[in-house]
Structure 1
């Protein structure tokens, strides 16, 4: 039985394949070299990996190891970004493994039409990420507002007074959220005017973002290469007090090549 498998990173069109010399200097997952598998006018970028690490059972255990996942994700991303420097690229999701090159070639034949369509859509374009944050604001006291009455003066007990203050605080927080969300929506609409396509991802948990502020927008924008300066300028022009706009990229178009690989039919046969 074979003791190795084929790990898939990304797919390009053969007519604009990645620079082999550039790829030769990049280590893939598990330190494996990266190579090209051409078929049907497309090219898959792969590595040969050991089944002892990338077989079904070892993978199930490894995917519970956050250090392993992080290291593998960094290697995967490094290869994808290297390929995308030279070619319109369809990145493949992390840990997509085939039994061998023959299965990869069969997939390229079977999925040729879908892949060619996706690659044509992202050619000459890159993905940019934009996140918008706002600090949870304390409601400002209205001008001319009276100081809060003491429980004795208002005739309310301490518990009732606390509940009133708590209700007012929550109401102010809700209003601040709505205002900040409206500003984030304006930012998204302005950036969508420059982009050719957009995707809105779920707001990240603060444990992932590393920030305590509200994340109001986690957007991806597919932008023509010749408009990247315009897009960056649009982001800068949308910054305002109380709102933090974070831009990252350019990236391979991960958010715009949502094809599933290694489906059950792709794993059948050799």
Structure 2
């Protein structure tokens, strides 16, 4: 392989895993994965064509959704396999260096940052929790009595009356969702080592019904995962009509893995 034409794509920084832990693993473009070790740190790396990942090419490729999806799937596949075998700091998509020598240099220069994050992530996974609200949904006991139209009510007044009822229904749904968010975050935060609040997901990009009103990642110790999941199920089982709680994971701890180093 002509190394001048290839760059080193880094998926994660980890504690060196046991022998054979990544045997047979392939990454972006189907290239074999290997480790670049430096002391008590190792980078999970594969070679990628420089003509796809230099600054100009990468800028264009990131606009190609098919290319981006393929790279993202390969990236997350390698990170997931690594995180199942050792504590790992996932790096952001398309973290590329000009050769393994540069990767090794970064491990030396940023040892303190990576070491601190790895210590924080040791024995933990990420669990994602979303709360959804559906306006217009009510429990039977909460439903207001329908207002009878006054005799001779004009079409304009009837329209305004219906709009007021719709607004009251939306306000009620938001209030119930807000209470559920507070309750969920308090209960789940008590079972977590850390939390990270993300921007709610755009409903136009999600197939899930309702509007996402809470989107939070929790860093949870392995020993507390079952208790965390049980709590999510209990919160959802007694959530008011039109609100619900969903959990995803466990995942590699992407939301808690920023060591603050540049590419």
TM over 0.5: yes
- Number of equivalenced pairs: 255
Contact 2:31 2:47 in 1 (8 A): yes
1:158 CA displacement: 2.0
Alignment partner, residue 245 of structure 2: 245
2:233 pairs with 1:233? no
* Equivalent-residue separation in structure 2 for 1:195 and 1:159 (angstroms): 53
User: After the TM superposition, which residues 1-270 of structure 1 pair with which residues of structure 2 at under 5 Å, given as runs?
Assistant: 2-13=4-15, 17-138=16-137, 141-143=143-145, 146-150=147-151, 152=152, 154=153, 157-239=154-236, 240-241=238-239, 242=241, 243-263=243-263
1:224-256 deviation line (CA, Å, top 9, x unaligned)? 111111111111111135332221111111011
1:174 CA displacement: 1.9
Which 4+ stretches in 1 moved above 4 angstroms? 138-141
Distance 1:166 1:60, change over 3 A: same
3-state SS of 2:37 partner: strand
1:168 CA displacement: 3.0
* Equivalent-residue separation in structure 2 for 1:146 and 1:125 (angstroms): 54
3-state SS of 2:225 partner: helix
Contact 1:6 1:48 in 2 (8 A): yes
1:111 CA displacement: 0.9
* Equivalent-residue separation in structure 1 for 2:8 and 2:190 (angstroms): 41
Contact 2:130 2:212 in 1 (8 A): yes
Alignment partner, residue 266 of structure 1: none
Contact 2:133 2:173 in 1 (8 A): no
**TM-score, normalised relative to structure 1:** 0.88
Contact 2:126 2:250 in 1 (8 A): yes
Contact 1:195 1:224 in 2 (8 A): yes
Q: CA RMSD in A?
A: 1.9
Where structure 2 has 5 or more consecutive residues not aligned to the other structure, the ranges are none
3-state SS of 1:23 partner: coil
1:56-90 deviation line (CA, Å, top 9, x unaligned)? 22211110011111111110001001111111110
**TM-score, normalised relative to structure 2:** 0.90
Contact 1:10 1:90 in 2 (8 A): yes
3-state SS of 1:203 partner: coil
